[in-house]
Amino acid sequence: MDKWYNNLLEFAAKEYDFDINTFKSKIVSKFDDPSLEIFTFKKNGKEYMIDFEPDYLPQKRQTRAELNFIYYLAENNISVAPPLRTINGELVISARKIGENFNITAFEMASGQFWDKNDPPKWNDKIFFNWGKVMGDMHRLAKNYKSVDKYKIPDIFERNYSGWGSYFDCLKIYPTVYKITQELLNNIANLPKDRDSYGLIHCDLHPYNFHIDGDKITVFDFNDNI
């Protein structure tokens, strides 16, 4: 491990008050990245995952807003992987190394494991029910959620998705499909956006963004909130 990275780790260990000797890397399997490396540490008998993200991906204020929402869900008994606060009560901290800023966050490791396509018995009516229930419970609670730092929740229809433009340009060679796509987008954009039908959600709740432990589902990876 590079010296600058050791310094970053020492800073995080001090801020979160964990034994640096419990820090280790793990390789986890996901359908889109079979060799995903994550970093973990242990504190008070629990295992936590820690992230070191360049400041531009995403910005610190956005990260803090995301973690505040997750913390709110956890406090209201939603089965999510809760963020860990530093000894000073911060949900996200920053450090500058080799001329680059890093945002550091930590989360309690979700119990269980990812969906295993080679183990169909894991999927049963109870799992599907809980999958829908946790999504519904999150959306219900989001109606009354107020960002503690006055962060303006982005509106998906106000975003400039550069990737969308190139994707739709490719569809132009299929005029019928392109026309249907544009009609669908217009219909979606014109749907009601009141308190009961539009707001903050986890818009990427696929089987590799939660762990299964028996019938329990624990949700994580909120980077695609709306």
**174, part of any domain:** no
How many domains, the chain?
Answer: 1
Q: Which of 145, 160, 118, 148 is nearest to 200 (CA)?
A: 145
Average pLDDT, the chain: 82
Rounded Cα gap, residues 71 and 216, in angstroms: 19
**110, part of any domain:** yes
For the cut 70, the answer to whether the pLDDT of residue 1 exceeds it is no
Question: Against a cut of 0.85, is the pTM above it?
Answer: no
For the cut 60, the answer to whether the pLDDT of residue 41 exceeds it is yes
pLDDT 10s digits, 161-194 = 444 556 677 788 889 988 898 888 888 878 888 8
Q: Which residue has the higher pLDDT, 147 or 35?
A: 147
Rounded Cα gap, residues 58 and 198, in angstroms: 23
**182, part of any domain:** no
**132, part of any domain:** yes
**189, part of any domain:** no
What's the CATH number where 89 sits? 3.30.200.20
The encoded tokens of residue 124 equal 């049963």
**94, part of any domain:** yes
The encoded tokens of residue 92 equal 């996200």
**191, part of any domain:** no
Looking at residue 62, its pLDDT comes to 80
Looking at residue 218, its pLDDT comes to 94
- Residues paired with 80 in a beta bridge: 219
23: containing domain = 3-149+199-219
Three-state DSSP class for residue 154: coil
How large is the greatest C-alpha to C-alpha distance in the chain, in angstroms? 60
Beta strands in the chain (DSSP E): 24-30, 33-43, 46-54, 93-97, 100-108, 210-213, 216-219
**172, part of any domain:** no
For the cut 90, the answer to whether the pLDDT of residue 108 exceeds it is yes
